[in-house]
């Protein structure tokens, strides 16, 4: 090689022993890169698009395959089954058996044919779960077929005591199986009622008889749209009416119930009542009431002040026998059994002691479930604990999300109606969140170990263990409180901002000083020695009460107002995704949370709220107050509205015109108020005031009995008949127009004549009662948008959205509304009489014989 020969410098950088490529294969020089501004805009080719779509599809398939390996598909089965049950309960009319069964059969056959297609098979499986949930809910509805009272009535009732609870003021709330009625005899009376009494005879006990004059009322609907539906839950609890004794009832001899199941139920009720009385006699006052609530589930004796303090401090869950109580009770039984068996080493070394202890814990938890009244939270907790204990006995993992899914499926099959209640939603969401967090934490520790990273230093010494325990309690409270707080916010408008502090301070006391002594008191009760552990339990309860009061006193007011249903559904879906998914697909939940938050922030409260009995009308004033049309409104209703609409102040009506008054002005049987859009609201509860109200008001409320009541064309009219049929009403007004001077109530009204419809109603009340009432006609001037909302037929800028709490009563749990006197245009009776039989409804009796479309049959 000559000195003048050119040498490729890249050859000098190669390691010795490597063969250099031929010189002719090396590029002469590296091409200069093309700058972005020199490239120009080039449209992607078809091949590039197909390549990217194929790559995206492969990524999605890989993620889905990984989720399937984690068993995620099975976790979504109870979710879709629950969605099917909720869909059934939300339908405006009763679906037919034929349609549901035919659809299920078609889906099952299609699923069998599509078993080779993974995505199609998964979608069809979830669709089958939805229809199965609907069938389960329909089966429960038709199986119960609870007879519901249609109208207020006073009658003499003879019944058998099924349950009895004493409240804080010494009164009683009694559940009776109705055996007979007299003066008048109810032709279609309820089978079971819940009544209150100031006092009971000394002989009153579970299974004994009571007789007395009772004022019965039908089950009411929600106090506001979306709130707790008393009629719905009363139907599925078998309670057809509520009421109160007029005077003290008398004891009477009644025959024992027929059937082994009914007698067993009475025996369990008597056992619960005996234990409750033993607890309250050994531990008096509110401590005894709370102890009874933790052991037997009877919470009637706890004061409203304590209940409110527990809610604000985030400790209300301790009164509901759920996972905490069931786990502590079962865990204590398991620990005691293992400790006792350990005293016999020869036996313990030759037998699976852990499995024996798990079996004993299962039996103890079952007894606790029966003793507590088997509330839905207790049922969920027992089912979950039973699955875990059976898994222990079969050498399987105990705490898994799959076990929770099995418990959820069992609960949906047994009591699907509880899906709409706060107990089911809060209980399962909190448990699922804790299991998901535990799985994430365990996976994180395993990942650190597999990567060779040093694990976090274990806590040493007493201080370290205490700090670890406090940290675990705080994390548990935050996780469970956040998950269940979504549903607490919707149902109770309660966020418990200092719930973390309350739980950190109170849960150790409950775990150490309350629940262990509760189990010990049950074990010592056959020997009449329960008073000693109950004293220790009472001391712990007093500490918990003190914590609740102190935390509630410093807790800020964090009521964000009404949560729309769409937000609840979106947040619930996001919560399910973030808890069940294990891959990057979990990030999809952020979109659901964001969309729900946007809807929550855009939600506008109603401009008017009208109670279902037409007596109370409230109007938000815009400055944190509710203007009402009565000086003494219903306490229960107005407190619910104040909390829901975040209006701590009440503006009561005044008499006479006052330009500066921001509420109702009531005079001569008519109440007027200027609404947000500048229009006038006129309210009257007397037929004599109809003409004046129609002349003055743009929106008129006629809260008196009558048929086909109306005003001039162009006015929105709400009648008592509408409210009696469809429930509480929320009105959201359109955009305000130019301000108009507000008319005042005239002191000299024009000569008025009673409305013809009112005369017809009076004449109708003197006729013999009809066998059935036809459904009321729709309100004139309104068009139905769905089964809960209606829209005025006005220009878009003037439209008002009317949202009823019930909607057309075509389902079995609200058909009784059609038979009230107000729904039939008849005035309420002022005293009982023979014709009071017309207030009864055959809806409960005919629900299993006729479809909801023929609810006019008697």
pLDDT confidence of residue 174? 94
pLDDT at 523 > cutoff 70: yes
SS3 (DSSP) at 17: coil
pLDDT confidence of residue 661? 73
pLDDT tens by residue, 59-118: 777 777 777 777 788 899 999 999 999 999 999 889 999 999 999 999 999 999 988 887
Q: With pLDDT > 90 as the criterion, what percentage of the chain qualifies?
A: 31
Selection from 103-107, 261-265, 516-520 with the highest mean pLDDT:
103-107
Written as one string, the DSSP assignment of 343-383 is: T-HHHHTTS-HHHHHHHHHHHHHHHHHHHTT--HHHHHHHH
pLDDT at 195 > cutoff 90: yes
The answer to whether the peptide bond before residue 475 is cis (omega within 30 degrees of 0) is: no
Report if pTM > 0.75: yes
pLDDT confidence of residue 842? 37
CATH topology of domain 153-255: OB fold (Dihydrolipoamide Acetyltransferase, E2P) (2.40.50)
pLDDT confidence of residue 23? 52
pLDDT at 677 > cutoff 80: yes
Please give the average per-residue pLDDT across 268-277, as a whole number.
Answer: 88
pLDDT confidence of residue 498? 84
Please give the average per-residue pLDDT across 672-687, as a whole number.
Answer: 90
378 vs 3, more confident: 378
> What is the arrangement of strands in the sheet containing 729-732, beginning at the earlier edge strand?
649-651, 625-628, 617-620, 608-610, 729-732, 801-804, 789-792, 782-784
Q: Which residues contact 845 (CB under 8 A, 6 or more apart)?
A: 145, 147, 188
pLDDT at 41 > cutoff 70: no
pLDDT confidence of residue 296? 86
Written as one string, the DSSP assignment of 91-102 is: -SSPPPHHHHHH
Q: How far is the C-alpha of 847 from the C-alpha of 141, rounded, in Å?
A: 10
Q: Which residues contact 81 (CB under 8 A, 6 or more apart)?
A: 129, 130, 132, 133, 136, 409, 412
pLDDT confidence of residue 100? 93
225 vs 496, more confident: 225
pLDDT confidence of residue 21? 54
pLDDT tens by residue, 386-431: 888 888 888 776 667 888 888 889 889 988 998 998 888 888 888 8
pLDDT confidence of residue 791? 54
> Which tokens sit at 531?
């008073």
pLDDT confidence of residue 236? 93
pLDDT tens by residue, 629-665: 998 888 999 988 988 888 888 999 988 766 667 789 9
pLDDT at 494 > cutoff 80: no
Confidence of residue 758 (pLDDT cuts 50, 70, 90): very low
Quick one: residue 452, left, alpha or beta (phi over 0 = left, psi -120 to 50 = alpha)? left
pLDDT tens by residue, 280-291: 888 888 888 899
pLDDT confidence of residue 763? 32
pLDDT tens by residue, 140-158: 999 988 999 999 999 999 9
Q: With pLDDT > 70 as the criterion, what percentage of the chain qualifies?
A: 81
pLDDT at 741 > cutoff 70: no
Confidence of residue 735 (pLDDT cuts 50, 70, 90): low
pLDDT tens by residue, 303-347: 888 988 888 888 888 887 776 778 778 888 888 899 899 888 888
* Cβ-defined contacts of 397-401 (< 8 Å, 24+): 399/435, 399/438, 400/435, 400/439, 401/75, 401/432, 401/435, 401/436, 401/439, 401/579, 401/580
Query: What mean pLDDT value characterizes the chain?
Result: 80
Confidence of residue 857 (pLDDT cuts 50, 70, 90): very low
For the chain, domain boundaries: 70-144, 153-255, 276-421+501-554, 608-827
pLDDT confidence of residue 203? 87
> Which tokens sit at 366?
């079952």
pLDDT tens by residue, 214-253: 999 999 999 999 889 999 999 999 999 999 999 999 999 9
pLDDT confidence of residue 683? 94
Query: Is residue 478 a contact partner of residue 429, using CB atoms and an 8 Å limit?
Result: no
CA 166 vs CA 144, 171, 301: distances in Å? 28, 6, 6
Quick one: residue 297, left, alpha or beta (phi over 0 = left, psi -120 to 50 = alpha)? left
pLDDT at 832 > cutoff 50: no
Please give the average per-residue pLDDT across 573-583, as a whole number.
Answer: 90
**Which range has the worst mean pLDDT, 246-255, 785-794, 798-807?**
785-794
pLDDT at 775 > cutoff 60: no
> Which tokens sit at 202?
């000394």
């Amino acid at each position: 090689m000559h000195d003048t020969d050119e040498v490729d410098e890249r050859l000098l950088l190669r390691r010795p022993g490597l063969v250099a490529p031929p010189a002719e294969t090396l590029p002469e020089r590296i091409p200069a890169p093309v700058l972005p501004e020199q490239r120009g805009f080039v449209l992607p080719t078809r091949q590039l698009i197909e390549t990217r779509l194929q790559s995206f599809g492969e990524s999605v398939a890989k993620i889905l395959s990984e989720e399937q390996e984690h068993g995620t598909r099975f976790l979504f089965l109870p979710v879709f089954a629950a969605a099917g049950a909720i869909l059934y309960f939300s339908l405006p009319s009763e679906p037919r058996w034929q349609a549901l069964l035919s659809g299920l059969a078609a889906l099952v056959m299609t699923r069998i044919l599509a078993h080779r297609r993974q995505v199609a098979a998964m979608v069809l499986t979830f669709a089958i779960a939805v229809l199965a949930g609907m069938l389960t809910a329909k089966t429960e509805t038709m199986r119960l077929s609870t007879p519901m009272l249609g109208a207020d009535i006073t009658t003499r009732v003879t019944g058998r005591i099924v349950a009895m609870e004493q409240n804080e003021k010494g009164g009683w709330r009694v559940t009776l199986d109705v055996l007979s009625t007299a003066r008048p005899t109810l032709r279609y009376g309820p089978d079971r009622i819940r009544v209150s009494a100031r006092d009971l005879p000394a002989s009153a006990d579970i299974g004994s008889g009571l007789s007395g004059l009772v004022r019965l009322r039908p089950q009411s609907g929600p106090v506001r749209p979306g709130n707790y539906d008393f009629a719905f839950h009363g139907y599925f609890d078998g309670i057809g009416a509520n009421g109160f004794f007029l005077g003290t009832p008398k004891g009477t001899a009644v025959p024992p119930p027929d059937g082994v199941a009914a007698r067993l139920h009475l025996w369990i009720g008597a056992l619960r009542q005996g234990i409750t009385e033993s607890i309250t006699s050994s531990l008096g006052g509110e401590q005894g009431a709370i102890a009874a609530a933790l052991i037997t589930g009877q919470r009637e004796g706890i004061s409203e002040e304590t209940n409110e303090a527990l809610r604000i401090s985030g400790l209300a869950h301790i009164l509901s026998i759920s996972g905490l109580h069931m786990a502590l009770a079962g865990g204590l039984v398991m620990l005691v059994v293992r400790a006792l068996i350990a005293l016999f080493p020869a036996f313990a070394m030759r037998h699976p002691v852990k499995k024996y202890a798990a079996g004993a814990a299962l039996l103890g938890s079952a007894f606790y479930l029966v003793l507590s009244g088997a509330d839905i939270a207790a049922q969920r907790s027992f089912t979950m604990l039973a699955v875990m204990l059976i898994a222990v006995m079969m050498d399987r993992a105990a705490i898994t999300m799959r076990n929770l899914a099995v418990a959820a499926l069992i609960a949906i099959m047994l009591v699907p109606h509880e899906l709409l209640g706060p107990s089911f939603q809060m209980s399962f969401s909190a448990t699922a969140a804790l299991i998901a967090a535990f799985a994430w934490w365990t996976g994180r520790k395993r990942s650190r170990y597999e990567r060779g990273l040093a694990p976090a230093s274990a806590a040493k010494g007493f201080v370290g263990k205490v700090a670890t325990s406090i940290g675990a309690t705080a994390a548990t409270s935050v996780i469970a409180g956040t998950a269940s707080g979504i549903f607490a916010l919707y149902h109770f408008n309660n966020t418990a901002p200092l719930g973390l502090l309350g739980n950190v301070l109170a849960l150790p006391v409950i775990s150490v000083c309350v629940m262990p002594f509760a189990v010990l008191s049950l074990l010592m009760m056959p020997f009449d020695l329960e008073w000693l552990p109950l004293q220790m339990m009472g001391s712990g309860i007093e500490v918990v009460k003190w914590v609740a009061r102190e935390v509630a006193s410093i807790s800020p007011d964090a009521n964000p107002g009404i949560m729309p249903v769409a937000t609840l559904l979106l947040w619930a879906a996001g919560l399910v995704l973030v808890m069940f998914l294990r891959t990057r697909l979990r990030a999809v939940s952020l979109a659901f949370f964001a969309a729900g938050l946007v809807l929550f922030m855009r939600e506008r409260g109603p401009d008017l709220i009208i109670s279902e009995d037409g007596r109370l009308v409230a109007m938000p004033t815009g400055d944190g107050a509710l203007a009402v049309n009565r000086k003494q409104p219903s306490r229960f209703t107005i407190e619910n509205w104040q909390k829901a609409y975040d209006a701590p102040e009440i503006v009561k009506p005044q008499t006479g015109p006052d330009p500066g008054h921001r509420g109702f002005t009531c005079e001569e049987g008519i109440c007027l108020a200027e609404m947000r859009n500048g229009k006038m609201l006129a309210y009257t509860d007397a037929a004599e005031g109809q003409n004046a109200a129609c002349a003055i008001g743009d929106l008129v409320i006629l809260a008196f009995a009558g048929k086909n009541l109306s005003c001039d064309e162009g006015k929105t009219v709400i009648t008592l008949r509408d409210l009696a049929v469809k429930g509480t009403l929320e009105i959201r007004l359109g955009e305000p127009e130019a301000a108009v001077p507000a008319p005042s109530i005239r002191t000299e009204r024009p000569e008025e004549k009673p409305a013809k419809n009112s005369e017809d109603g009076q004449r109708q009340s003197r006729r013999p009662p009809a066998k059935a009432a036809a459904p009321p006609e729709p309100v004139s001037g309104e068009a139905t948008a769905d089964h809960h909302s209606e829209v005025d037929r006005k220009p878009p800028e003037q439209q008002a959205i009317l949202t009823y709490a019930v909607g057309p009563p075509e389902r079995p749990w609200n058909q009784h509304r059609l038979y009230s006197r107000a729904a039939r245009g008849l005035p309420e009776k002022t005293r009982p009489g023979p014709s009071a039989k017309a207030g009864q409804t055959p809806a409960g009796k005919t629900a299993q014989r006729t479809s909801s479309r023929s609810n006019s049959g008697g």
